[in-house]
Structure 1
Amino acid sequence: MTEELAPVTPLFGASPAGRQRAAGADADLGAVPSSTIPAAADSAASGVDGPETRPSSSANGSPRLVSIPGGQGDAQAFTAVVPAGMDAESRERLIGEAQETLVRALARSDRSTEEARRLLRDWRGEDPKGAQAPEDGTEEAAEYEESLRLDDTEIEQVIDRCTELGYLDDLRLAELVVHKSRDKKRSGIQGVERALRDRHIAAEAMQEVLAEVDRDDELERARELAVERARRVKGVEPDAAIRRIAGFLSRRGYSSGVAFTAAREAVQGGSRPSRSSNGSAGVFFGASPVE
């Protein structure tokens, strides 16, 4: 009986078809300086078929070059650097995860564009399923950790997408900050400006909302606060009371001139005990009058 022999697989060197495929890959990478192509790409040129021809990181964890088909009818392939531990598809998945994280954060509370950018800089993706992180403290561990974070270009990609979708809007946030500072906290102009800066709102949005703020009633608003504050410092020596009230108004964002004017009027206007129409005493500063 004649036994059929299994086909022989070459152990060294690829089949002629494999060599032709490798030669084609070299042609695509011909525009890239040879000094920038890692050893993994060289192995493909030598005629060895295998997983090394797929877009992935090299065995030692360093970034490598991968060929990605060109777009818009461009048949010429271009070469992109893929971070260690990530292929192009995994990188897109990482960007998608970062965008989902930002959208969830924006659903909880509004953020400025810069606040969103800082969140993405601190964000770290989850370890790929089945991946084994290198030992801490090694160069490979640092590269692996970096591969799970977005670079500046990817961060701006997420920012632009969320802006297009309306999730990020510095002007809308600036209007909310002004309303809270001006109407709820009754802050002065300087206080409103400080609140906007604290939220890292874009300068263009700040200028637009501040132009809409009414500055003519600044002194009147300070007077109202000063009279309310004067009730808390009854019995205090007048000069000290003026300083305390003026300091309070300054912390609320009123200029020093407005703060001292309003404080002085509130204190001096109540420097003697007075009776209102219902017989109740007004605010009194200083010693009790002699009967």
Structure 2
Amino acid sequence: MTVSSDDGGESDRLAPVIPLFGGGARPVRQPAEAPVRSRDETPRSAIRENDESRDGRAERDASQRWHTTWTRDSARGPGGGGSSDAPVALHPAATRERDRDASTAGDDDVRGRAERMLLRKLRTRSLSIREARAALRDADVDGDVAEQIIEAFEQNGYLDDARLAEQLLDGALGRKAQGATAIAQTLARRGLDRDVIDIAMASLPDDEAERAGEFARQRARGMSGLDRDVALRRLHGQLARRGFSGPVALDAARRALDEASD
């Protein structure tokens, strides 16, 4: 109801409306905008949580960048699940490095076995360089590795063709009583180079006739019961097989038989 001044009221004024059932629409409140705070106004706990979150993301990013050569995610599946014992997928560069290291270790192991094998043979008798190379070849040692071993053994004095030639000469001139031809054949059979053989033969003393005569006298003592021609033929053959030349061997056999018959 409206009361006007004409009706005696004081002023035009609307009476308050009172809801009968306590309902009615409530005014919609607009959400207040959150005030923008500076870092100084932000609570310390919120700053610390933001910093820790940022640091955690940085660590995860750095971890992902660091492990560039391997990943377990591919082994666990797209969701990252699966067993932690799943095999690691290597980066191609890491695979090549691993294979190269394994190959180097394998080569070192092969070389070690080859060196020990060669040392065992050298404890039994001296070897020429050619004989040592043949032994390594028979053991299926790679050519490059074999040459490295040969070079190392030469530098350490385990292989020395010149010294081997001297040893063979001493044996030929001593207990074996061999002539020049047999000595040269022995040196060649042991794989010595032609230059080494020539130097060794040049050092032979000029006493082949004396050595042939000494050998013939020792053998003639056991032929006293044989016919002379038979004994001469046998003794001459023995001297020839010892490497004494034809004329030297024949002359030594005759002299030894003559001395044995007196």
Whether these two folds match at TM > 0.5 is yes
Among 82, 88, 94, the alignment partner of 2:110 is 94
* Deviations 1:110-130, CA, capped at 9 Å, x for gaps: 11111111111122xxxxxxx
User: Is 1:173 aligned with 2:164?
Assistant: yes
Q: What residue is the counterpart of 2:97 in the other structure?
A: 54
Q: What residue is the counterpart of 2:239 in the other structure?
A: 249
User: Is 1:210 aligned with 2:201?
Assistant: yes
User: Is 1:230 aligned with 2:220?
Assistant: yes
1:265 positional shift: 2.6
**Which amino acid counterpart does residue 242 of structure 2 have in structure 1?**
R
The answer on whether the counterparts of 1:230 and 1:283 sit within 8 Å (CA) in structure 2 is: no
User: Is 1:260 aligned with 2:238?
Assistant: no
User: Is 1:152 aligned with 2:168?
Assistant: no
Q: TM-score, normalised by structure 2?
A: 0.61
* More divergent stretch after superposition (228-237 vs 96-105): 96-105
Structure 2 vs 1, CA of residues 238 and 96 (structure 1 numbering), >3 Å: closer, same or farther? same
Instruction: Find the aligned partners of 2:156 and 2:211 in 1 and give their Cα distance.
Output: 39
Q: What residue is the counterpart of 1:283 in the other structure?
A: 261
RMSD of aligned residue pairs (Cα, Å):
3.0
The answer on whether the counterparts of 1:230 and 1:245 sit within 8 Å (CA) in structure 2 is: yes
The answer on whether the counterparts of 1:231 and 1:283 sit within 8 Å (CA) in structure 2 is: no
Instruction: Find the aligned partners of 1:48 and 1:153 in 2 and give their Cα distance.
Output: 31
SS in 2 for 1:263: helix
Structure 2 vs 1, CA of residues 240 and 122 (structure 1 numbering), >3 Å: closer, same or farther? same
Instruction: Find the aligned partners of 1:198 and 1:90 in 2 and give their Cα distance.
Output: 35
The answer on whether the counterparts of 1:114 and 1:201 sit within 8 Å (CA) in structure 2 is: yes
Instruction: Find the aligned partners of 2:173 and 2:156 in 1 and give their Cα distance.
Output: 29
Instruction: Find the aligned partners of 1:92 and 1:266 in 2 and give their Cα distance.
Output: 61
* Deviations 1:152-173, CA, capped at 9 Å, x for gaps: 1211110001100111111111
**Which amino acid counterpart does residue 54 of structure 1 have in structure 2?**
E
Q: What residue is the counterpart of 1:187 in the other structure?
A: 178
* Deviations 1:8-53, CA, capped at 9 Å, x for gaps: xxxxxx989849xxxxxxxxxxxxxxxxxxxxxxxxxxx9726633
- Number of residue pairs aligned between Structure 1 and Structure 2: 182
Instruction: Find the aligned partners of 1:48 and 1:225 in 2 and give their Cα distance.
Output: 76
* Deviations 1:189-221, CA, capped at 9 Å, x for gaps: 11211221232223222222211101x321122
Structure 2 vs 1, CA of residues 55 and 239 (structure 1 numbering), >3 Å: closer, same or farther? same
Instruction: Find the aligned partners of 2:249 and 2:209 in 1 and give their Cα distance.
Output: 8
The answer on whether the counterparts of 1:188 and 1:252 sit within 8 Å (CA) in structure 2 is: yes
Instruction: Find the aligned partners of 1:180 and 1:225 in 2 and give their Cα distance.
Output: 15
Instruction: Find the aligned partners of 2:154 and 2:194 in 1 and give their Cα distance.
Output: 17
Structure 2 vs 1, CA of residues 17 and 262 (structure 1 numbering), >3 Å: closer, same or farther? same
Which ranges of structure 1 fall in alignment gaps of 5 or more residues? 1-6, 8-13, 20-46, 57-65, 69-85, 124-148, 271-281, 285-291
The answer on whether the counterparts of 1:112 and 1:169 sit within 8 Å (CA) in structure 2 is: yes
**Larger radius of gyration, structure 1 or 2?**
2
Structure with higher helix content: 2
Structure 2 vs 1, CA of residues 220 and 16 (structure 1 numbering), >3 Å: closer, same or farther? closer
Instruction: Give the fraction of aligned pairs with identical amino acids, expressed as a percent.
Output: 32
Q: TM-score, normalised by structure 1?
A: 0.55
Which ranges of structure 2 fall in alignment gaps of 5 or more residues? 1-59, 70-88
Q: What residue is the counterpart of 1:162 in the other structure?
A: 153
SS in 2 for 1:184: coil
User: Is 1:103 aligned with 2:119?
Assistant: yes
Q: What residue is the counterpart of 2:6 in the other structure?
A: none
Structure 2 vs 1, CA of residues 179 and 18 (structure 1 numbering), >3 Å: closer, same or farther? same
